């Protein structure tokens, strides 16, 4: 039948996703894009596809609904499920470089760009190392999946969605600030008032703001080593004087800063 994606052309790959729904969604998207299916191309019925792939009909129905929400599919009266007009098209022709073209020299055009910084690289199998000290990576054995799932469910529910989508402009979420002050910080021995807490995009964003606001040429700067590559580079850009305290304790750092700055 014309304008139809056959159920036999859809294959599941174990490497696509850990769940059957994820594998089926990836297989359907792949079939749509690789076949250059035009809008209106029909997909197999949920019963036919479930029988072909050995899945439950409920699994197929849920995946169809998910892809409808993502804009890949659409439902049509008396026609079942079809490829939507909003589905992205992979095989678009893109103008490539000709033999005489040269890549653009961004270093020539960008003015005042910072010098190249140290790039953090990690092996793909870093989890197999005995001591995988990689920052920003959660330990799946310690991560509270149930709490995370509950937070996601409540945040995306209709009851709390208005609060989630509220634009507070120049202020942070008061409930988040209250939790940080009453729960997160006290566990680390830190006590702060709500007006002393600033929520940033991450640790590097916080370091950038601190350096830009506090670093001056007449102030010594102390950074961790090893640490974020941005910190020493930003301090050097602000002409702050590092007191060379890499292997010193906090008491030694305070003495050195008193000597250099007159604290």
Q: pLDDT tens for residues 15-54? A: 888 889 999 999 998 888 887 788 888 999 999 999 999 9
pLDDT of residue 64: 93
Q: DSSP labels for 143-164?
A: S-HHHHHHHHHHHHSHHHHHHH
Whether residue 90 has pLDDT greater than 60: no
Q: What is the sign of the dihedral through the CA atoms of 155, 159, 160 and 161?
A: positive
Rounded to an integer, what is the distance from CA 70 to the centroid of its chain? 19
**Is residue 223 within 8 Å of residue 207, measured between CB atoms?**
no
Cβ-contact 157, 151 below 8 angstroms: no
Mean pLDDT over residues 121-132, rounded? 82
Q: Mean pLDDT across the chain, nearest whole number? A: 78
Q: What is the pLDDT of residue 151?
A: 81
Torsion of CA 51, 52, 55, 58, to 10 degrees: -60
pLDDT tens sequence across 194-243 = 989 999 988 888 888 888 888 777 777 777 766 676 666 666 665 555 54
pLDDT band at 113 (very low <50, low <70, confident <90, very high): low
More confident: 182 or 36: 182
The residue that leads in pLDDT, 92 or 256, is 256
What pLDDT, on the 0 to 100 scale, is given for residue 261?
54
Q: Nearest Cα to 208, choosing from 197, 219, 216, 200? A: 200
Q: How far apart are CA 241 and CA 98, in angstroms?
A: 50
* CA quadruple 88, 93, 95, 96: dihedral sign: positive
Question: pTM of this prediction?
Answer: 0.45
Query: For residue 257, what pLDDT band results from cuts at 50, 70 and 90?
Result: low
- Most distant CA pair in the chain: distance in Å? 85
pLDDT band at 126 (very low <50, low <70, confident <90, very high): confident
Q: CB of 234 within 8 A of CB of 208?
A: yes
When mean pLDDT is compared across 140-144, 155-159, 179-183, the lowest value belongs to 155-159
Read off the pLDDT band of 1 (50, 70, 90).
Answer: very low
Kindly list the distances between the CA atom of residue 262 and the CA atoms of 218, 221, 242, 256, in Å, as whole numbers in the listed order. Answer: 11, 14, 15, 9
């Amino acid at each position: 039948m014309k304008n139809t994606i056959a159920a036999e052309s859809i294959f599941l790959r174990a490497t696509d996703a850990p769940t059957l729904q994820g594998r089926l969604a990836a297989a359907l998207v792949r079939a749509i894009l690789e076949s250059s299916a035009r809008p209106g191309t029909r997909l197999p019925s949920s019963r036919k596809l479930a029988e072909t792939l050995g899945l439950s009909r409920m699994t197929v129905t849920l995946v169809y609904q998910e892809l409808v929400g993502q804009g890949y599919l659409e439902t049509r009266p008396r026609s079942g499920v079809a490829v939507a007009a909003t589905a992205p098209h992979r095989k678009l022709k893109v103008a490539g470089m000709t033999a005489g073209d040269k890549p653009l020299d961004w270093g020539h055009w960008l003015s005042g760009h910072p010098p190249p910084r140290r790039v953090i690289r990690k092996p793909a199998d870093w989890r197999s190392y005995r001591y995988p000290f990689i920052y920003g990576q959660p330990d799946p054995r310690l991560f509270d999946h149930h709490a995370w799932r509950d937070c996601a469910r409540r945040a995306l529910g209709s009851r709390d969605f208005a609060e989630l989508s509220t634009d507070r402009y120049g202020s942070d979420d008061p409930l988040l600030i209250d939790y940080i002050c009453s729960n997160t910080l006290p566990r680390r021995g830190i006590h702060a008032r709500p007006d002393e807490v600033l929520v940033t995009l991450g640790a590097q964003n916080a370091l950038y703001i601190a350096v830009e606001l506090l670093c001056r040429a007449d102030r010594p700067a102390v950074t961790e080593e090893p640490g974020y590559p941005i910190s020493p580079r930003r301090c050097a850009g602000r002409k702050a004087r590092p007191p060379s305290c890499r292997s010193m304790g906090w008491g030694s750092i305070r003495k050195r800063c008193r000597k250099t700055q007159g604290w």
